[in-house]
Amino acid sequence: MKLGILGTGMIVREFLPWLTGADSPFTVQCICSTQRSAEAAGELCEQYGIPQHTTNYFELLQDVDVVYLAVPNNQHARYAKVAIEAGKHVIVEKPMAINALQAEELANLARRRKVFLFEAMTTQYLENYNKIRELLPRVGKVKLVQCNFSQYSSRYDAFCAGETPVSFDPARAGGALMDLNVYNISYIVGLFGEPNQVHYTANIERGIDTSGILTMEYNSFRAVSIAAKDCGAPARYVIQGTKGYILQKSTANWCGGVTFHPNEGKEEHYNLNGGQLGDHMLILGGLLPLRRFRVPLDLADDGQAVDGMAAPGQGDRTVVLDAFFFQPLLVHRGGVCIRHSVFSFCSVLHHHAPSNRRLSLCGRVIPLNFL
């Protein structure tokens, strides 16, 4: 299959060695960039033997079967829509869109055009993650889940100096939740399904969440999801139950080795991802939106509007949490097709708030029938 890439950023540079390698099911045909990044696009094409680079998106779409979108979050839906309308399959970086309505529109359009639309998040398909599912009954009754994905951003110093890097730009849907916590949410929801309640409290600087804590309430346990771009900490994922606990000391997108610690007996260690293909997998199935949430909005201060929603006292104070579950039908790994029936999560919550205030999203999650 011929693949076209939109973007020249870090994720593209990390992905290209595999995309152009012997195990890739793709032939990378073209890279499209802005005029400002045209030289970088040309260098990447030369380095990886890609025959074409362009600054015209419509030119990119002429001779490819699949488009991989690696542009700022706020541009995902715009470029995905154009590609779908052109009859191309689309792989879009997380989050798929910046709000639920955009994701709905893309999903409906993909159905009508009979093309595949994927969010580029592989956690659900890693063997170590599948092992965690297998081990879950052995921990007994789950009581607590902890996830921490905290990385001091290479762009945070520039942000503190007054610049506005893309990953910290509220207008481009940046922030810790959109960039890092989406992995934790996918990790938790993929194992336990939809929560009953969701709360998000963030450290806000210049209108963006530089770090934050998301709590998810289930019938009999609580899950805490921490993500930070303004400070670092060791990755730590723990599922605690009445008969033991599962420990993973790597970020959710990598999902490294798993250790099961029973209350009685010897601990067990597993590392099943199997090398490079553990990082990159091609999903060849349909992604079916299953749930959408609405969450009452509680602003912890004096009534600033959040991302276009009404301020307190001005109409319905309900915000769409912009959360979608997707069900992959088929996964292709190393030439072997395997079926899965698991959940992925596209969190596209976005907000603005005064720089010295905390934003809190709380309330009962109400699933809305989508299909």
**C-alpha to C-alpha distances, 366 to 101, 201, 339, 343, nearest whole angstrom:** 16, 19, 29, 18
AA letter at 54: T
Task: State residue 305's pLDDT score.
Answer: 25
Task: State residue 318's pLDDT score.
Answer: 32
Task: State residue 317's pLDDT score.
Answer: 31
Average per-residue pLDDT for the chain: 78
The residue with greater pLDDT, 159 or 337, is: 159
Q: Are 3 and 66 in contact (CB under 8 A)?
A: yes
Task: State residue 103's pLDDT score.
Answer: 86
**C-alpha to C-alpha distances, 346 to 120, 125, 190, 231, 339, nearest whole angstrom:** 10, 15, 11, 24, 21
- Range with the poorest average pLDDT among 87-91, 254-258, 307-311: 307-311
In whole angstroms, give the CA distance from residue 32 to residue 52: 9
Closest Cα partner for 20 from 41, 43, 3? 3
In whole angstroms, give the CA distance from residue 368 to residue 100: 12
Task: State residue 275's pLDDT score.
Answer: 52
- Range with the poorest average pLDDT among 22-31, 73-82, 106-115, 329-338: 329-338
Whether residue 297 has pLDDT greater than 90: no
Ordered structural domains, the chain, with CATH: 2-119 (3.40.50.720), 125-361 (3.30.360.10)
